[in-house]
């Protein structure tokens, strides 16, 4: 019979039998301190000023109580109350108290505002790191947090509106009451673009916007087929005005304090987290203010979308990190066939492969956040940010479901049981690929950026060359990717857009791998970088995780992935 290791607590079940070989729950560890890649990144990017806050949030996210909030907020799903008991419209969503605890913690930690209010170096990197810690515990509530944060980038197109709304949005107070924004101590902002007939092609929107007299006020009539977090206090909405598709700020209450004609039809029963509400809404002459110019709706809202794309990349890295932590924890305590799972050679390969992927993901999302920090003052970083946003969003949201799916299996049957938390990560993982531009749409955006903005290709190539001479495999891969970029540009010149488009995912993937490889060579341990290059670049890898070549130094890779502290 197998005997438990000393690390495994021996407990009894109700029949008085010993419970053997079950893993102790992973609680009371610090998600930030335990994550070497993330904490080193913060120091490297000169953001030591935030270490105290990150350490505290990392501790909090690992506590049993906050883990419980995440579970409860997902088990007690939001309820839509369309009408009150007298039959009057309410259009309110009721959440479990745990949801509000999570939201308050994130708002108080300024996950919705930090780079807009903090002028110190690396504010975007710090916020991305805070988000990465939070999303590992509960990702659902980070949707309204992310949209609120991102809305500021678009709101600034209209200084008058920004003056009025920014103080409310940036407030560190979480106020969940359903009242006019002007009476609240803090507000949330959502985004509604997708309609029944199309989400990727928003030009197909049919919601109408009619101008009220000579003002910049409009009445919106139509619907939105997906509107997440409908309890937000205002939404950035696309609708057709006289000059074409335009962007509007639509509050839940009008400035005169009446409820706006914004009706929540129903909540979606969806894949993904259960804690957040996603809905279908109708506007029956809803009052809204124009944001940006009439007819320039997409270019106005894209500033918001770019910031939510950054957050999709952060969330992808967060899910992979948490899946890895859980898999390692399980393997360090569970025994099979006379050994701890982490001592089984094939399991070591799986875990090391997951660790390499997670480290590359974290480095890529940090590099992206750095470019958000630098882009205001450095045109090269602005150009790099343009393309890196699409590349990282595409790749990290594609890798997360596969990564989490493999980590889940490391826990055996326990991984498939809700209490383990892995099913929640698994349901969440595919969301980031459909939000804010689905896989194909993002890859086509990569092509568009390379085609239309020569400075983007230059900035990308310069970044890829930044590790030139450090490894022959990397040099060869970067040279091949550069030639891919050039041949895609030639296809455009020849007008062969069909062929070029059909290859867009291939290009997106190769660009992502090249960027990750550069970052791994510069910042990861030698063993992790070597395994990444040999597997992902030199082709010594299979289609599933756990296929690192025999040359990979599994001991070193697993040692570098650290233990929860
Ligand atoms: C849980 C959830 C929450 C959401 N929340 C919101 C929200 O808050 N606000 C909001 O506005 N939207 C929201 N969405 C909607 C989401 O943004 C859209 O579903 C997404 O943009 C895709 O649009 P669609 O569903 O109409 O699919 P379609 O546009 O019909 O696309 C279907 C498929 O075709 C592909 N495709 C489209 N065009 C091309 C092309 N030219 N070439 C190749 N392939 C193409 C797409 O990649 C996709 O795989 C949410 C969606 C989900 C699932």
Distance CA 118, CA 106 (A): 16
When pLDDT is cut at 50, 70 and 90, the band that residue 5 belongs to is: very low
Helix (H, G, I), strand (E, B) or coil at 162: helix
Distance CA 192, CA 232 (A): 11
Q: What angle do CA 71, 68, 353 make, to 5 degrees?
A: 70
| Residue 10: per-residue pLDDT | 54
- For ligand 1, atom 30, the nearest C-alpha belongs to 198
- For ligand 1, atom 48, the nearest C-alpha belongs to 438
- As a whole-number percent, the residues of the chain with pLDDT over 90 amount to 93
Mutate to test the pocket of ligand 1, among 190, 198, 205, 226 (most ligand atoms within 8 A of CB): 226
Pocket of ligand 1 (CB under 6 A): 190-194, 198-201, 226-228, 270, 272, 278, 431, 434-435, 438-441
Ligand 1 centroid from CA 298, angstroms = 15
Helix (H, G, I), strand (E, B) or coil at 452: helix
| Residue 497: per-residue pLDDT | 79
pLDDT exceeds cutoff 70 at 6: no
Distance CA 500, CA 507 (A): 10
Ligand 1 centroid from CA 435, angstroms = 7
pLDDT tens profile 28-40: 999 999 999 999 9
Ligand 1 centroid from CA 79, angstroms = 25
Tell which atom from ligand 1 comes closest to the C-alpha of 434.
20
When pLDDT is cut at 50, 70 and 90, the band that residue 412 belongs to is: very high
pLDDT tens profile 478-518: 999 999 988 766 666 567 778 889 999 999 999 999 999 99
- For ligand 1, atom 22, the nearest C-alpha belongs to 199
**CA proximity to 320, closest of 396, 417, 432:** 396
Distance CA 363, CA 366 (A): 5
**560: Cβ contacts below 8 Å, ≥ 6 apart:** 36, 355, 359, 524, 525, 527, 528
Ligand 1 centroid from CA 229, angstroms = 17
Helix (H, G, I), strand (E, B) or coil at 223: strand
pLDDT exceeds cutoff 90 at 443: yes
Cβ contacts of 159-163, under 8 Å, gap ≥ 24: 161/249, 161/289, 161/291
Mutate to test the pocket of ligand 1, among 441, 442, 502 (most ligand atoms within 8 A of CB): 441
**Rounded (10°) angle between helices 142-155 and 159-170:** 150
Distance CA 37, CA 54 (A): 14
Distance CA 491, CA 263 (A): 47
Question: How would you label 449-483 residue by residue, b for 16+ Cβ within 10 Å and e otherwise?
Answer: bbbeeeebbebbeebbeebeeebebbeebbeebbe
pLDDT tens profile 43-74: 999 999 999 999 999 999 999 999 999 999 99
User: What average pLDDT score do residues 419-437 get?
Assistant: 97
Q: Where are the alpha helices (DSSP H) in 334-438?
A: 345-374, 379-410, 422-428, 431-434
Ligand 1 centroid from CA 200, angstroms = 5
- Residue 441, CA atoms < 13 Å, CB-side half-sphere: 13
Model-level pTM greater than 0.85?
yes
- For ligand 1, atom 50, the nearest C-alpha belongs to 226
Ligand 1 centroid from CA 279, angstroms = 15
Distance CA 401, CA 107 (A): 28
pLDDT tens profile 216-243: 999 999 999 999 999 999 999 999 999 9
Q: What angle do CA 440, 444, 446 make, to 5 degrees?
A: 120
- For ligand 1, atom 23, the nearest C-alpha belongs to 199
Tell which atom from ligand 1 comes closest to the C-alpha of 439.
47
Name which of 39-53, 308-322, 462-476, 479-493 the model is least confident about: 479-493
Ligand 1 centroid from CA 191, angstroms = 14
Question: How far lies 224's CA from each of 188, 193, 278, 279, in Å?
Answer: 18, 7, 11, 9
Distance CA 315, CA 407 (A): 16
User: What average pLDDT score do residues 82-94 get?
Assistant: 97
Distance CA 136, CA 128 (A): 12
Distance CA 419, CA 422 (A): 8
Ligand 1 centroid from CA 199, angstroms = 5
When pLDDT is cut at 50, 70 and 90, the band that residue 3 belongs to is: very low
Q: Note whether 165 and 155 are within 8 A (CB).
A: yes
Ligand 1 centroid from CA 322, angstroms = 27
User: What average pLDDT score do residues 416-443 get?
Assistant: 97
User: What average pLDDT score do residues 144-165 get?
Assistant: 97
Ligand 1 centroid from CA 132, angstroms = 24
| Residue 508: per-residue pLDDT | 98
Q: Note whether 406 and 545 are within 8 A (CB).
A: yes
Average pLDDT, the chain: 96
- For ligand 1, atom 37, the nearest C-alpha belongs to 200
| Residue 15: per-residue pLDDT | 82
Q: DSSP letter for 258, please.
A: P
Cβ-in-10-Å burial (0-12, 13-18, 19+) of 17 comes to: exposed
Tell which atom from ligand 1 comes closest to the C-alpha of 228.
8
Ligand 1 centroid from CA 303, angstroms = 18
- For ligand 1, atom 19, the nearest C-alpha belongs to 199
Mutate to test the pocket of ligand 1, among 143, 200, 222, 270 (most ligand atoms within 8 A of CB): 200
pLDDT tens profile 513-548: 999 999 999 999 999 999 999 999 999 999 999 999
Q: Note whether 247 and 205 are within 8 A (CB).
A: no
Distance CA 159, CA 378 (A): 23
| Residue 486: per-residue pLDDT | 84
| Residue 489: per-residue pLDDT | 65
Question: Torsions phi, psi of 194, nearest 5?
Answer: -70, 130
When pLDDT is cut at 50, 70 and 90, the band that residue 13 belongs to is: confident
Ligand 1 centroid from CA 22, angstroms = 42
């Amino acid at each position: 019979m197998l005997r438990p290791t000393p690390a495994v607590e021996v407990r009894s079940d109700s029949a008085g039998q010993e419970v053997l070989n079950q893993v102790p729950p992973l609680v009371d560890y610090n998600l930030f301190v335990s994550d070497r890649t993330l904490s080193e990144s913060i120091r490297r990017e000169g953001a030591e000023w935030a270490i105290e806050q990150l350490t505290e949030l990392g501790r909090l996210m690992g506590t049993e109580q906050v883990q419980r909030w995440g579970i409860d907020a997902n088990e007690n799903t939001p309820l839509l109350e369309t009408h009150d008991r007298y039959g009057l419209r309410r259009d309110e969503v009721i959440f479990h108290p745990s949801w509000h605890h999570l939201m308050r913690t994130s708002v108080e930690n300024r996950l919705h505002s930090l780079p807009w209010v903090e002028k110190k170096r690396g504010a975007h990197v710090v916020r991305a790191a805070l988000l990465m810690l939070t999303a590992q515990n509960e990702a659902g509530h980070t949707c309204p947090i992310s949209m609120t944060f991102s809305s500021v980038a678009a709101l600034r197109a209209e200084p008058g509106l920004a003056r009025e709304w920014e103080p409310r949005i940036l407030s560190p107070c979480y106020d969940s009451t359903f009242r006019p924004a002007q009476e609240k101590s803090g507000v949330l902002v959502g985004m509604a673009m997708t309609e029944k007939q199309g989400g990727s092609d928003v030009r197909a929107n049919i919601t109408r916007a009619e101008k009220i007299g000579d003002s910049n006020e409009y009445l919106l009539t139509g619907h939105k087929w997906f509107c997440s977090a409908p309890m937000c206090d205002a939404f950035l909405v696309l609708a057709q005005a006289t000059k074409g598709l335009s962007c509007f700020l639509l509050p839940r209450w009008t400035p005169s304090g009446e409820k706006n004609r914004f009706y929540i039809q129903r909540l979606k029963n969806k894949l993904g987290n259960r804690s957040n509400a996603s809905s279908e809404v109708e506007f029956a002459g809803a009052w809204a203010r124009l944001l940006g110019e009439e007819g320039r709706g997409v270019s106005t809202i894209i500033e918001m979308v770019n910031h939510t794309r950054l957050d999709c990349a952060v969330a992808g890295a967060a899910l992979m990190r948490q899946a890895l932590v859980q898999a390692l924890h399980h393997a360090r305590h569970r025994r099979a066939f006379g050994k701890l799972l982490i001592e089984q050679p094939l399991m070591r390969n799986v875990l090391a492969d997951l660790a390499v992927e997670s480290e590359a993901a974290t480095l890529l999302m940090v590099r992206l956040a750095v470019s958000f920090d630098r882009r205001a003052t450095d045109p090269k970083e602005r150009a790099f940010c343009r393309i890196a946003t699409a590349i990282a969003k595409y790749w990290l949201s594609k890798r997360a479901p596969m990564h989490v799916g493999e980590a889940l299996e490391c826990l055996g049957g326990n991984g498939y049981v809700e209490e383990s938390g892995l099913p929640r990560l698994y349901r969440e993982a595919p969301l980031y690929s459909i939000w804010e531009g689905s896989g194909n749409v993002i890859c086509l955006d990569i092509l568009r950026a390379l085609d239309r903005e020569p400075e983007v290709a230059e900035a990308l190539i310069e970044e890829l060359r930044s590790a030139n001479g450090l490894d022959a495999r990397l040099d060869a891969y970067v040279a091949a990717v550069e030639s891919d970029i050039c041949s895609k540009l030639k296809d455009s010149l020849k007008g062969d857009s069909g062929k070029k488009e059909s290859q867009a995912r291939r290009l997106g993937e190769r660009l992502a791998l090249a960027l990750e490889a550069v970052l791994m060579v510069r910042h990861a341990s030698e063993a992790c970088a070597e395994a990444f290059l040999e597997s992902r670049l030199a082709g010594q890898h299979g289609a599933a995780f756990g296929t690192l070549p025999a040359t990979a130094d599994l001991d070193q890779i697993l040692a570098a992935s650290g233990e929860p502290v």
